[in-house]
Amino acid sequence: MTPTTHAPAPKKKSISARLPLVLITNLCVAVFLLLAVPLIYKGQQGFVLHAAANNDYIEAAIGSGEADFMHNALRTTEIARAMAHDDHVSTMAIMQLIVAFLAFLFFCNSLYLFRLHRRSQQTPLLSRN
């Protein structure tokens, strides 16, 4: 070996030291994802009221008798707005399910890493005996 080369570090020790850090990181991500679900739900509830068409506005537009006003009021403003908000509410509901599923996957991955870590800790003890 020359003075500029370094001996390789033992891999088993670095993997076993790094695994708890990965496990803790996975658990933290899962907890943050679960905390995001109520925030998404709260945001979704702010749009629910706007997802329905304002019937008073529609009746006023129809009652005015002006074709242009009715056309603009019904087609381009009120109904389009209500449909857009309805789509947004649906998207947020799907987002809640996806975030909850991702949190479940992170918890499962953490459990797998924990079992793998415990198994690697028990193996050297068995080989000593």
pLDDT at 18 over 80: no
As a whole number, mean pLDDT of residues 79-103 equals: 89
What confidence tier does 96 reach under pLDDT thresholds 50, 70, 90?
very high
Rounded to two decimals, the pTM is 0.61
Average pLDDT over residues 39-57: 82
pLDDT, the chain, mean: 79
71-82 average pLDDT score? 76
**Average pLDDT, stretch 45-57?**
79
CB-facing half-sphere around the CA of 48: CA atoms within 13 A: 8
